[in-house]
Structure formats: structure tokens, C-alpha cells
Chain A
Amino acid sequence: MSGAVNMTVDGRPVQARGGQNVLGACLEAGVHVPHYCYHPGLSVAGNCRMCMVEIEGQRTPTVTGCTTPVAEGMAVRTSTPKVRAAQEAVLEYLLANHPLDCPVCDQAGECDLQDFSFRHGRGQGRFHEEKVVKHIKDLGPRVKFWGTRCIVCTRCVRFCQEVSGTGELSVIERGDHSVIDTFPGIPLDNELAGNTVDICPVGALLSSDFLYRARVWFLRATPTVCATCSKGCDITVETLEGEVQRVRPRPNPDVNEWWMCDRGRHDLDYVASPDRLASALLEGGASATSDVVARVAESLRAHAGRVAVLVSAWQTVEAAWLAQRLAQALGGRTALVARPDVPGRVYPRFRIEDDANPNRAGVERVLGPAGGPGAGAVLADLTAGRLTAALVLGGMPRWEPPPALVAALERARFVAVVDILRGPLVDLADAVLAGAAFVEKDGVYLNSAGRAQRLRRALDPPGEALCEELLLQRLLAALGHWEAGEVSAGAVFGMAAAAVPALAGLDHQGLGELGRLAGVAPSQ
């Protein structure tokens, strides 16, 4: 089954893996073969008949590439007259009952029916009968279904059988009446349901959340990492007019394959919340950021030797390293604070982690064994008055600070908080600096497997808010401990990687699109 197989695709030599199918080999070799039902993350169904290819020397005029295993010496042709005629015919059938309602369809612009019709279709339909009209309904709370547009490729059905293992979807009836449906009373409501919308090659499955929100060609896509749990799914955040419109997974074979969970998709409301901090605050009133930075630096200096620096597990590696530098400059102590676990879930081929923090691993590695993991000793010293001032780097949405932390900070004589949302800590702080949500900054997160992955800025922070690594550089500069001038997150990461053994050899550029395991030498 395994081992290299030598074949040609359109006369070009291609090396495939044994056991692979012809379509997979063509796609991996960069040869475009149109297809609907085939998805590299799902079993092969062979039902859309779109991926026709011609194999030299075979009696069958054309075969489906997805169901044909590769063989040594095989010569595949992807664009012969026979192949093109087959593709045209298949597309004409697929469009026979299709309503062609592209102007009001969310899939328009990223639709394989549109794109393949453009590239491979015959341009005119000859279907003069009445169209069969199938149901339009909600399959579940987050997924809507247009049977009229469906080509019954069964990607969504196979996803629910194989990846989520929940089996809510099925094809009911048969022939041209075939339609996707749920069992009455059992809606499509698993936490991976949103993936069915992503893998639908046409406009049949659509997200209730994104419905009619934007034309997709106006969206600006930014590759980044999900912050909802410590799995660190690779995602694309799509924005328009300064708001997140849609979040979709980015394939990464080592982290999330092609998928993400619905928690991550729908976890971003807080970014545009009216409770977002848009300016620095001094004793509760809005103030210029520069004044507050100066005031915080001055106050922390006054408490030198008795300063606690609390770093949340939502801060980037860069911010954590600068916080560590700040603590060293002030003779202070660091501790990690994190959101409590939220029960995760294990599906047959996807796992949602319990740890509801995206960068616990990164912050722990930067702060070192002395700085974490528990904040207990630092809180005890704050409560006992041995530590008298605190700087809290929060930035954790939907977080209720534990009473012990609030009580300890209430005992401190000076508290500065860097945060993104109003909350109990902001209320009790003497000085507040407005930080950035994870979609508003560059940086690095380490997931629970120790994989370093890049966050990229998809939006600007609101108002006067700034990324934490900039605020910390300004604080360090005000304390006379920062000579570098204001530098980017990438430059800060370079310094951190040089100083922290667990990050040795890593840099922003080298992490690329898919990240790299920290503590492992670059691959040969």
C-alpha cells in the first residue's frame, strides 16, 4: 500500500503515494481537477461524478479520479475532449434542478458550482421541464439548508458520521427527490456543526450567523489562531468595516486538520462589545495613555521590590516576556492567572480541550517555574502586605476573577490593570491601560501540545487601546529599562527566543502559516 508510485499527469511525471487515489495525487501535484463530493478529510463517496479523468490504455472512456487508485506507470489525462464532455454533461445535470439564485446566495463568490460552471460548463442549459423543488429549512440552530441548491454530494452527511460521530444528517428519499435532512426532533446541534457549512461546495448549507451579512468578496481574510481553548486551531478571521464577520478554520494537519468547533466561531462577540475599554483610565476617568503610562511607571517604581506582576494565559509570548522583564526591573514577582477549565469534548476525530486559555503553555515557559503556575504564593504575599503593588495583564473575556484575587488586589496600595473589557479588576484598579483582543494583535501563542503559532492582527484595537507589547515597552522605557525604541512583536519575539531556552531557534518568519513545536530543532 505504501511507497512511491510513479505516474504521469498530462504527460508530466508525478510521484504519488501507494494507496492514494488519482484525484488526491493530481491535487497534491497542483493539477486542477474539479470535484464536489471528494474531501481529503472524509471518506470517498464517488457520487458527484465531476472528477472525471482519462487513463491511457483503459477501456472505460473516463473514470472518477477519487475512486481510482494510483498505479505504477499510470498515465492520467485531465483535459481531453472526452473528459471535457463528461464534465460538461455532469454540470448540466447538477444544474438541472438548481434555482440559479446566485444574486441572493451567500455562497456566491466562493461557490464551486459557479466556478466550475465558469471553467468547465457548457454555458447554456437545455432543461425544459419543471424543476424539482426541495425543502428550505433550519437543520439546527446554527445551520440553514437550501435543498434547492443542494447537489447531494453528502460531504455534510459523512462529516457527521465520521468526524463528529453524531450522525444527525442523512439523505432521504431518492433519485431527483434526494435531499439532506435530519431525523424529526433531532436537530443538527453538535459543537462541530459549523464545519458542514464550510465543506458544503455549494450554497446549500449556510451559517445562520453569517446569513446575508456580507458579500464574501468584500471580506478581508487574516490567518491567525483561535483563542477559545488551548488546542489553538488555525483559523481565518474575515473582517469588513472594522468588525469580525466570520471565522473559519484553516487546515493544519498537526493541529485541527480541516475543522474547528462552534465555540471558537461564535466566541468573538466581546471584540465589539460596548464594554470594551477604548482609552486609558486614571482613578476611573478617561486619561491620555502617555499620562497613565508615566503614572503607572512612577507608582510601580515607588513600590520597587514589592511588586506583583500577574500575567494572564491569554497574553502573547511577547507580552509575557516583557512583563517578566518589567518584574525583573522592579525586583518584583510574576504569576500566571488563567480562566478556569471549561469541560471540553472528545469527538471521534476532533478534540475540544478543557483548558479555556490559548497560551498557558507559552506564558508558563516564559515566566519559568518560579513565575507559575499558581498565583497562590504571590496572592498570599499581597494579602499579607509583603507585596504592596500589582500590575495585572488580563485580557481574558468572560472571566470572573476569583474572590481570592480580588481580595488580594484590594489590599494592595497600588493596582494597575491592562485589560480589554470592563470588569471587577478594572473597577478596583487605580490605573487602567486599554489593551488589544487576540484578533487585534500580532504575536505568538503556544498551544497545549507546545506548538508555537502566530497571531496576526485582523482589526485595529478600539479608540486609544494598544497592543500589550507596545504598552509594556513604553512602561519599561519610562522606567529606564528599554533601549530598543518601540519595536514590533516580531522583534520582541526574537529577544524572547534568545533569552528563553524553551523558545530557542524560533522566530516569527520561521513559524510560517502552520507554526512549529517549541523546543524542537528546525526541521532539516
Chain B
Amino acid sequence: MAVCIAVIAKENYPLYIRSIPAEHELKFHYTVHTSLDVVDEKVSAMGKALVDQRELYLGLLYPTEDYKVYGYVTNSKVKFVMVVDSSNTALRDNEIRSMFRKLHNSYTDVMCNPFYNPGDRIHSRAFDNMVTSMMVQVC
């Protein structure tokens, strides 16, 4: 399914980033970082829309030869970026959307943890497990 899932803070530093396989980690970091350009572009383009009508899902940020990068931005401008293998044609927009929603829910749980400092890196096991489930699960 997803090969890389990243949560990026409002200030664009990574709160959480995980990828498989591990040897491509650096490449994914670059990819996710670069995708922020498009996130910024899309966010500023929809900035004028009313807050409650805003679509959090940003859609395909940009495709590369091997991967597709999808984006999602919360109302507090925390970004979720998901990289999916291009060969995985089974993944449609709707699946990606629901994955993001799951991610968002899990992230909200992390934020609700009184011991979590907003802005710190995420070390939650529950979040980790959820991400793992999204990465290995084959659709």
C-alpha cells in the first residue's frame, strides 16, 4: 500500500516520517520534502475558501515515475503526505482519502494525549501501529 507516510508540522519540519523499504528512506525524505512545494501551492490556492467548506484532501500532489504522492492538510495546517507505489494501480482516490482520514483520526488521538507536546515528534505506539497497518495492508 503506502510506501511512505509522513506527518509534517505547520512549520514544515517532520513530526513523523516512516517508509518502507528502509534503504530508500533518504529518497523518500527528499520526495516528501519536495512535495511540500505543491502542498503550499494548493493550500494557498484554496486559502480563500471558507474554512468549513474546505476540502482537507489535497489529492495527487505530483506523480513521479515510480511513486505517486498524495497530500492532506488539517485545519491546523499539519500536513500528511503519503507516497504510494505507481505500480499499485488498485489504489483509487477513495482509498487514499479513507487512508488519510484514518491517519487524521489517529493523529487527533495523539494530540489528545495530555503528555504529548504539540510540535514534538510523534512517538506514539498506537500511531505507529496504525501507520504500519496502512503500509503493509495490501488492497
B is a partner of A: no
A residues adjacent to B (C-beta < 8 A): none
B residues adjacent to A (C-beta < 8 A): none
